[in-house]
A and B are shown apart, each in its own frame.
Chain A
Amino acid sequence: MNKPTHIEAGGCREAPILKERGQREVFCGLTGIIWLHRKMQDAFFLVVGSRTCAHLLQSAAGVMIFAEPRFGTAIMEEKDLAGLADAHEELDREVARLLERRPDIKQLFLVGSCPSEVIKIDLGRAAERLTQIHAPHVRVLNYSGSGIETTFTQGEDACLESMVPVLPETDARELLLVGALPDVVEDQALSLLDALGVGPVRVLPAGRADGMPHVGPNTKFALLQPFLGETASALSRRGATQIEAPFPFGEEGTTMWLRAIADEFGVDAETFERVTAAPRARARKAIAAQSEGLNGKSIFFFPDSQLEIPLARFLTRECGMQAIEVGAPYIHKGLVGPDMDMLEVGTVSEGQDVDLQLDRCRAAKPDLTVCGLGLANPLEAEGLTTKWAIELVFTPVHFYEQAGDLAGLFSRPLRRKAKLQVVAE
């Protein structure tokens, strides 16, 4: 447990990947709206889609959000399918109605869905036209969150990517943090970097439209989430340089992530040690307390959020778990390669044929199974202990102060199972 920070041989970067296709149990990219709309306070997300899209967002968010959501769906009807010119007019009308009702909106995202992609509604053109109509008050951008193009967290990637081309140009040498994090975690990252003397630091996405970061050839950026590949490419096209590192989960991941930035910005070893020593010790202590019961236990990841590889790295190296299978919706080695270098795992799988994967899971009988909401209760009913993956996206889990909580998310289902004295039917 709590092995020291150094890269060992035996990572899985070069191991063969089991690639599957078949039925998937994963959300589509529209779901990213659920956290993005709370993160960007003056943005509104308008899905151009079907009743299914509206129902999906409601099912994913409706149980949690008791505030007026800053998202909606322009539901396509029969007549919209008849002719596309009509669809654009209809969209203009709905957007005008929306902006009239919500004058606080400064950024409007038109979000493409499966049906709008299939009938090829040109949302790029619509966004340009609507920007002209509603400028300068509102900027209209577009991206696709469709399930034929994206899975779950890829929606955030598509959204952030759509913002990159309109970020103002700068020549300043700045650090850009990329990814939507809970405010409390973002603040912790900023204060750690500030203590290291790294700066100026900007964040994409910013909380408000007028706070959006600038970007240019001297921008160095670090990703906060392992699913932001397209955004990273877009930033590179603007001349920015990526700082590669494992993702900041757990004490080790956080330290390596910070170290990569510190190296880039010339922070001396003494300063790094002074700033990180105390939080590192705290994180190790918290992990030790929270991960009690995880040591020696096996874990199986169904693909869900793209967080699987970095999390498996954390659980195997810092909590003493054994990873039987780590599945991810897709694997971008350019992003999760550094994590893969440190991960020992039985099988790495990409994509999904859910029935085949369920067969493997049942055969392996893992102590803990990480899966989406559609599978969690059925697997519990079969006697497996599960961690529903969505909490990993909706709970603050990054950086030192959350490392204990992160371990706790995984140990809680096991502790719970041990506590309950009644047998479920």
Chain B
Amino acid sequence: MKLTVWTYEGPPHVGAMRVATCMNGLHYVLHAPQGDTYADLLFTMIERRNHRPPVTYTTFQARDLGSDTAHLFKDACQDAYDRFKPEAIIVGASCTAELIQDDPGGLAETMGLDIPVIPLELPSYQRKENFGADETFFQIVRALAKPCDRTKRLSCNILGPTALGFRHRDDIEELTGLLSELDIDVNVVAPYGANPSQIARLGAAHFNVMLYPETAESACRWLEREFDQPFTKVVPIGVGATRDFITEVIGLTGRAACVDESRLRLPWYSASVDSTYLTGKRVFLFGDATHVKAAARIARDEMGFEVVGMGCYNREFARDIRALAKEYGVTALITDDYLEVEAAIEELAPEMILGTQMERHIGKRLGIPCAVISAPVHVQDFPARYSPQVGFEGANVIFDTWVHPLVMGLEEHLLHMFRDDFEFHDDAGASHHGGKAVERVEATADQAPAQVQADDQVVVWLADAERELKKIPFFVRGKARKNTEKFACEKGVTEISVDTLYEAKAHYAR
């Protein structure tokens, strides 16, 4: 058993639902108790989908357990077939049904339905959501894809986008446009928007674009092996990665590139003087491996941030992220324990978090701005406007999204300069985030000195030093406090004075 408060990934059958829900003409018959229908609302409420997920739950109850739950499954399967008339059915069990061992795959097979029935083995007690999506998509591809002649014109498939993914809807559109500039047709996008008969035609493409390895790697590898389709490894998120992706596609296809970069604004916005304040801003990255990997490069090379920590929750990609972290001189945090992530962020005291919906909670608790770069997501992360992450427009969107949670450049200086101003002081917050400026509370002179336990030594903040610390802008104060305490410990100093504060500042400024 493992104690968890929030989780980054759901169970594997939710991954299967992400695939089923974004496809057309496919139905998922899920052996599950009634409570598991909660998963529907992920799609109808969080993603604002306008139809129910194509899932039929068997809804068994305690009183059914003594009798024949297998019968219940077959009835549900037949009802779903009759009512929804799908082109294909996937069948599986949720965690509870797995325990009663009814073998939905075998049961469905005996029913003799005249459409493909694809059984899913998703071990609920070992694996999680991304595995479920990847495995489901792979099984669908394996069952339905047929060998076929390549299209006359050069074409590819875009593989990996699913329901509930972070900006997948818009990424498909942006990437299709980019490929069209390279004079490459898109044969099939899958699973998002595909129906089973289109899956059958995957083999007609000349190569595959693996857009999200988390959900498409198994399928891409299988298609490479069976249909001799190479696939791209670079995910085109960010300016550099998009250019690398284009180079990779040229390498695969021999097609000469002529991509219009005139819409790309990130490089100039980053270089413009207003962005000076972004220089060296300390950011912490956490999310799925693909988005973290892309975000790290953008953060350091395209926005001029300092990456002070990174990690991902999907262990399948631990090795990649560890290697990447090393390149950035930080230690990777590979965990799906929300409390561990919170502790790491608290310790590193970054000026911004680039994370998931979960890190929004952490940011709120710790008072650190947060921009979302990856699933798991919230209804707010499905914006009405067009906001892709991939390609050049994606880079523009990312610039805006990441800068927005921060206090604006010149406002930072105002906060610094007019610390005593009734409108520009720390607690007032950024002027473009709403919220009313709160009255500044005067520090009283006779406050008890703060005691801090650092390492195995008690360090006391003298009142003067505490007051001086408050003069440092709030977005770097946490770090300044930590550094000063660390410095004091190293020097064996037990009382922090104003001098200690500035000595520490000078020490770490080297």
Contact = CB atoms under 8 A, between A and B. Distances in A.
B51 A118 contact: no
A146 B62 CA distance: 9
A241 B123 CA distance: 49
Interface stretch (B41-49, B166-174, B223-231, B429-437): B41-49
B52 to A, nearest CB: 5
Interface string A88-110: 00110110011000000000000
B61 A148 contact: yes
Given A51-B95, A58-B6, A59-B41, A66 B361 contact: yes
B38 A51 contact: no
Given A74-B2, A117-B62, A377 B7 contact: no
B14 interface: yes
B315 to A, nearest CB: 14
A380 B379 CA distance: 17
A59 B33 CA distance: 17
A98 B38 contact: no
Contacts of B41: 59, 372-374
A30 B95 contact: no
A102 to B, nearest CB: 11
A23 B72 CA distance: 11
Interface string B54-65: 001111111001
Contacts of A80: 1, 125
A68 interface: yes
B125 A77 contact: yes
A355 B83 contact: yes
Given A22-B59, A77-B2, A114-B33, A378 B51 contact: yes
A194 interface: no
Contacts of B49: 377-378
Interface in B122-177: 123-126, 128
A258 B305 CA distance: 63
Interface in A136-169: 146-149, 151
Interface string A44-79: 001010111011101110110011110111111110
B44 A52 contact: no
Interface in B74-130: 76, 79, 83, 94-96, 99-100, 123-126, 128
A388 B52 CA distance: 15
Contacts of B36: 28, 52, 56, 147
B35 A27 contact: yes
B95 A58 contact: no
Interface string B1-41: 11111110111011000000000000000000111111111
Contacts of A60: 38
A75 B4 contact: yes
For chain B, the bracket of interface size reads 35 or more
A422 interface: no
A24 B124 contact: no
Given A77-B1, A87-B1, A147-B33, A378 B45 contact: no
A309 B6 CA distance: 35
Contact of B96 (A50, A68, A425): A50
B82 to A, nearest CB: 10
B3 A56 contact: no
B364 interface: yes
Contact of B99 (A66, A119, A425): A119
B500 to A, nearest CB: 33
B3 A73 contact: yes
Contacts, number: 185
A87 B2 CA distance: 11
A317 B66 CA distance: 44
Given A78-B126, A149-B62, A52 B11 contact: yes
Most buried by A among B51, B58, B96: B96
B1 A90 contact: yes
Given A23-B56, A24-B59, A381 B1 contact: no
A337 to B, nearest CB: 24
A259 B136 CA distance: 59
A52 B94 contact: yes
Interface residues of A, number: 66
Most buried by A among B5, B49, B364: B5
A77 B37 CA distance: 22
A372 B60 CA distance: 19
Contact of B5 (A72, A97, A372, A374): A72
Contacts of A94: 1-3
A25 interface: yes
A378 B48 CA distance: 9
B35 A28 contact: yes
B491 interface: no
A376 B37 CA distance: 14
B365 interface: yes
B54 to A, nearest CB: 11
B50 interface: yes
B35 A374 contact: no
A374 B56 CA distance: 13
A234 interface: no
Given A25-B37, A66-B364, A378-B51, A51 B11 contact: yes
A355 B56 CA distance: 10
A30 B35 contact: yes
Contacts of B33: 28, 114, 146-148
Nearest to A61: B6
Contacts of B50: 377-378, 380-381, 425
A81 interface: yes
Nearest to A78: B125
Nearest to A69: B5
A25 B36 CA distance: 9
A1 interface: no
A380 B56 CA distance: 21
B1 A74 contact: yes
Interface string B266-309: 00000000000000000000000000000000000000000000
Most buried by A among B44, B48, B126, B364: B44
A115 interface: yes
A374 B62 contact: no
A56 B1 contact: no
B293 to A, nearest CB: 25
Given A377-B44, A381-B51, A81 B99 contact: yes
Nearest to B47: A377
B30 to A, nearest CB: 10
B243 interface: no
B34 A28 contact: yes
Nearest to B60: A148
A397 B46 CA distance: 25
A55 to B, nearest CB: 4
A73 B364 CA distance: 23
B11 A50 contact: yes
Contacts of B128: 51
A76 B6 contact: no
Given A74-B2, A119-B99, A56 B56 contact: no
A48 B38 CA distance: 18
A375 interface: yes
B378 interface: yes
A63 B59 contact: no
Given A23-B56, A114-B35, A151-B34, A81 B125 contact: yes
B396 interface: no
9 contacts: A30-B35, A48-B1, A59-B42, A62-B357, A63-B46, A72-B4, A75-B1, A77-B125, A148-B96
Interface of B: 1-7, 9-11, 13-14, 33-42, 44-46, 48-52, 56-62, 65, 76, 79, 83, 94-96, 99-100, 123-126, 128, 357, 360-361, 364-365, 378-379
Interface of A: 21-31, 46, 48, 50-52, 54-56, 58-60, 62-63, 66-69, 71-78, 80-81, 87, 90-91, 93-94, 97-98, 114-115, 117-119, 146-149, 151, 355, 372-378, 380-381, 425
Which 10 pairs between the two chains have the least Cβ-Cβ distance?
A: A147-B35, A28-B35, A374-B40, A381-B50, A114-B96, A55-B10, A50-B95, A373-B41, A90-B1, A147-B33
